[in-house]
Structure 1
Amino acid sequence: MHTHHPILEQLQAPLKRIKPAALAVALSGLTMAAQQVGATVSAPALQAVAAPYYGARADVEGLAQHGYVEAQFFVNGRAQKYKQSGSWASDGKWNASVASSGNPYSTLLIVRRPSDPAKFNGVVLVEWLNVSTGYPLDVDWGMAREEIVREGYAYIGINAQKEGITGIQKLKQFGDLYKPGSIPDDKLAFDIFSQAGKAVRDQAAVLLGPLQPKVVIATGHSQSAAAMVTYANAVQPLESVFDGFLIHGRGLTGLKLSSSDNIPLSASLRADTTVPIFMIQTEWDINLGGATSKQVDTSKLRHWEVAGTSHADQYLLDNIALVSQREVGWTPPACKRPYNSAPFYLVENAAIHQLKNWIVDGTAPSVAPRLQRDFFGSIKKDADGNALGGLRLPDLDAPIAKYGVSNSTTGSLAFLDIFACVAGGSTTPFTAAKLNSLYPTHDDYVRKYKAAADSAVAKGHILAVDRDAVVLKASQAAIPK
């Protein structure tokens, strides 16, 4: 059975697979007892299996040429279960207590890191892997991989939920490799995530080799973003594991700690957070859950709404397709319209960069305008059907298409196909006549696009290095036709 949540019901499609045999042998002997009670991180029995392991990307993304290595571990430990304490209100000031402890689990952890300590920037991103498709999916890696490797971040993906490990166990190509994995129920998920975060520092020699971590950031998208809302509101105040949070694609509220919790239908992130929290939402997310716009920016909270973007942009879905075929046999579906090509991933790159600076030197990100609403609360659109207000990508201020947040398959009723089309939104290119009216010459288009990109850089909404790449792409586009 799939794990569902209103916002997560639209994204992803399974992952990938690799053949880093040499790396596996090099890491296979690493084992260390955790410094905290109950957690043990060890390399899985990978060296004994002649098949690739799940979730690997080095072969398709050329990590070695970027000076990165990839490894995989089982995390074996005993976790706590939490429960709600008192009533939870929409302000996110949620109290929790330990319901039980000593609950055994064994799960998957993925590491991608610089091999050279000189390349490492000291920051580790820990992602709560998304399992809404039935398998763990590394969404933040898929979106921000370019920024991660060029700036020297270390990345860890932890499968905290039962469905992720049971999904991998169904994949015949891995034999019994993942048979030892076990998460009895998702009540353990929040402490499993905490233990992964703590292990970054307590067991750095195992997970990160020679790297010395200085900052540990928690991330999560869609269903995992809902988990991050609850974690930041209720668990972080108890455990103080993470130095900051990146939350994106969230729904109206969080995930329950236990089935008996009475969780509000919509909730903000708590304003009294002691660590920075950066929340970025696409137009798709806001269209589905407009109440998240009530989040107030503070000295520790930042909320960005990105006009014209969908829950999973074309950049992410193309990457998922690249690696998912070999693991679960998924190929991109035939959608009625092409995926939304507005590059939300550029904003995530900038958000990670700014969140790092916020934590390290106290430089808070800029405040971005919210999407404009009409009398009925719907997002306002211009004459071409594109959103007004919000954080503006150059693709929205020098548009060549309508960037929509709805789509569907051309007939397939397969869960993953519907999931990808609906989450992927749509792109409807302008007609040649429309393009000629907007941009009489190619130079005119490039000039307007460049000005919009420069404005986004000046506001801190995209990075200069990404600006250069998209301006080059615009200069090579056949606009006008």
Structure 2
Amino acid sequence: MSSRPMHRARMHTLACLAAAASVVAAVAVLPTDADAVTARPAPSAATPTVSGPVPGPIPAQSPALGSQVSSITPAALAAFGYTQQEFFVSGMANAYDFTAAPTSDGRWAVAAVPGSQAAYRTRIEVMAPNDKHAFSGTVVVEWDNVTGGFSSLPDFVYDHDQPLEAGDIYVAVTAQFVGVQNAKLNNPKRYGSLVQPGDSYSYDIFSQAGMAVRADYRQLFDGLQPRSVLADGESQSADRLATYVDAFAGRDNVYDGYLLHSRAATGTPLQEAPGTAMVAVGPDGELTPTSLPNGNTGLVDVPVPAIQRIRSDLAQPVLLAQTESDVYGPPNGWLGYGPATQPDSADFRLWEIAGAAHADDCVTNVCASDTGNVASAIARFDDMLNPPSSFGGFLDCDSPINTGQGGYVMEAALAQLARWVETGGVGTGVPANSAPLFAGQHVGEGPNTVAQLDSQGNIIGGVRTPAVDVPVATETGVATNTPLLCVAAGTSTPLTAATLRRLYPTHQEFVTRWVIDTLRLAHEGYLTPRAATNLIAAAARSSNP
């Protein structure tokens, strides 16, 4: 472990994130030397072979969509002083069996000896600061999302302002079969040597990628040694991480903390029999099976429970962030997470984000080019006043999509998870906030729970933002849009001019209420200092009402 003191930008963030004076005092006396915190369990997964960097620019994994819904733009990356490189990692990946039937509490036991083994070679992306002195010591590793049939980084799009401002290194791992196959089909010259033996092996591939981050930092990060390594995943990647956490987090001890965003009530199988690969987004926006086999051979399906919770006996903290779309079940919702809702524990926190949708305007339209400045915040604010119906520029939804501020909350979630780990982790560190659930939502509730709404149609309870506390629109995660993918985008309905005049007789009154709410939420730790500053500036420069 490095003995480098905690980076000053991170220290500033930690102080600003304190939710009460007692927490601020606790942070002030915590050690800043990484060697002084409680020792973490030693990682035990295999270390793969790293090759690269691969010469030439990294091609967009979706040629038709470019980086708009796959990652942030090169200009946004450069604005933060970061450079992107690609590497290949290879080795022998394992698929494992349970030693007993998996239970809903997530306390799963996995065999010590793999059920099968196969060779793999996949790609990882590394986004690192050009200034070595800016490195915070934290590396965030996102599990590529492949629902669209290609590798994408939705959480990097959502929350990149926070890790890039803090000086973190960000790594993306193509762990799944369809992501590798798409890369090979679209660019055989660059990716023809890649091999992914099937998604049953994806969990061990993700462990080994984390080991590469730890062991090969000289090659991957030009000598910058990580102090802590965090895992991140959104949507289908969060489902896979839920299974990874329950089956492998305490077994392999590769990652120091986990951020799961928008997961379903269940995870994904530990092993998958031969069959069809992941669903993918068709040209009409529907989710359809790909024509590719899933790569698995000689394996038998090992299902997980329909209601799967995150185990509560880990040495590593887990923060789960859920939107309205995720919590409330069909026919009005998206993933129906409600029945899997669980209480906070020593190693677990659940945040339910009010006014947020599974795949909103931020991730589909505006945040890929967000450079963390006031202009970017103004663009996001303006979309609340005039919400688009476009989903990523390739689908037109029946109604305007959600333009709430879930992305800002995800920045705070990542910052609080990093603080939790950096100050000692489970038991000794400063944990992430225990947040209120949506009003009327309770642990283990059924899928047909009805959201409780205020007079403007915004949900009551949960982690709040100025968008729902000082609204200019009704922001919900619920939609009946078509095509099907638009259901994940939620709905935004601007308040009428008459309603805005009634709520805010003058522009100054609106700004005052917005500023007070923003500062309160930043003090509570649900907005980062940068986000709060930009949100205040955006409201002040708006013409509302």
In 2, the alpha carbon distance for the partners of 1:81 and 1:403 equals 42
Check 1:37–1:190 CA distance in 2 against 1; reply closer, same or farther (3 A cut): closer
What residue identity is the alignment partner of 1:94? W
What residue identity is the alignment partner of 2:401? Y
Check 1:354–1:177 CA distance in 2 against 1; reply closer, same or farther (3 A cut): same
Check 1:338–1:73 CA distance in 2 against 1; reply closer, same or farther (3 A cut): same
Correspondence for 1:465 among 513, 530, 544: 530
Q: Identify which range, 36-45 or 68-77, moves more after superposition.
A: 36-45
SS in 1 for 2:190: coil
In 1, the alpha carbon distance for the partners of 2:316 and 2:96 equals 21
Cα displacement (A) at 1:176: 2.0
Q: Is the 1:219–1:247 Cα contact (8 Å) retained in structure 2?
A: yes
Cα displacement (A) at 1:116: 2.2
Cα displacement (A) at 1:318: 1.2
What residue identity is the alignment partner of 1:357? R
Structure 2 match to 1:140:
155
What residue identity is the alignment partner of 2:51? S
Cα displacement (A) at 1:37: 5.1
Cα RMSD (Å) of the superposition?
Answer: 2.3
The TM-score normalised by the length of structure 2 is: 0.74
Structure 1 match to 2:496:
431
Check 1:192–1:175 CA distance in 2 against 1; reply closer, same or farther (3 A cut): closer
What residue identity is the alignment partner of 2:124? L
What residue identity is the alignment partner of 2:146? V
Structure 2 match to 1:368:
435
Structure 2 match to 1:272:
313
Q: Is the 1:91–1:270 Cα contact (8 Å) retained in structure 2?
A: yes
1:350 equivalent to 2:412? Answer yes
Kindly tell me the number of residue pairs found equivalent between the two proteins: 428
Check 1:250–1:392 CA distance in 2 against 1; reply closer, same or farther (3 A cut): same
The TM-score normalised by the length of structure 1 is: 0.84
Structure 2 match to 1:308:
355
Describe how 1:191-206 pairs up with structure 2 within 5 A: 191-206=204-219
Cα displacement (A) at 1:474: 1.2
Structure 1 match to 2:289:
none
Q: Identify which range, 449-458 or 221-230, moves more after superposition.
A: 449-458
Structure 2 match to 1:456:
521
Check 1:320–1:135 CA distance in 2 against 1; reply closer, same or farther (3 A cut): farther
SS in 2 for 1:395: helix
Describe how 1:255-294 pairs up with structure 2 within 5 A: 255-259=268-272, 260-288=301-329, 289-291=336-338, 294=341
Check 1:87–1:43 CA distance in 2 against 1; reply closer, same or farther (3 A cut): same
What residue identity is the alignment partner of 1:164? G
Q: Is the 1:38–1:79 Cα contact (8 Å) retained in structure 2?
A: no
SS in 2 for 1:75: strand
Question: Share of identical aligned residues, percent?
Answer: 32
In 1, the alpha carbon distance for the partners of 2:84 and 2:246 equals 32
1:276-314 residue CA offsets vs partner (Å, 9 max, x unmatched):
111111111112324356311112111110111001221
Check 1:309–1:37 CA distance in 2 against 1; reply closer, same or farther (3 A cut): closer
Describe how 1:101-112 pairs up with structure 2 within 5 A: 101-112=116-127
SS in 1 for 2:206: helix
Describe how 1:18-97 pairs up with structure 2 within 5 A: 39-43=48-52, 46=55, 52-54=58-60, 60-97=74-111
Structure 2 match to 1:339:
401
Cα displacement (A) at 1:39: 1.5
SS in 2 for 1:271: coil
1:375-410 residue CA offsets vs partner (Å, 9 max, x unmatched):
962111123221111111111010111112244667
Structure 1 match to 2:255:
242
SS in 2 for 1:176: helix
| Structure 1 alignment gaps of length 5 or more | 1-34, 324-329
Check 1:395–1:466 CA distance in 2 against 1; reply closer, same or farther (3 A cut): same
What residue identity is the alignment partner of 1:40? T
Check 1:387–1:37 CA distance in 2 against 1; reply closer, same or farther (3 A cut): closer
Structure 2 match to 1:12:
none
SS in 2 for 1:166: helix
SS in 2 for 1:71: strand
In 1, the alpha carbon distance for the partners of 2:493 and 2:509 equals 21
Q: Is the 1:308–1:387 Cα contact (8 Å) retained in structure 2?
A: yes
SS in 2 for 1:219: strand
In 2, the alpha carbon distance for the partners of 1:462 and 1:320 equals 16
1:213 equivalent to 2:235? Answer no
Structure 2 match to 1:397:
469
| Structure 2 alignment gaps of length 5 or more | 1-43, 62-66, 273-300, 330-335, 371-391, 424-428
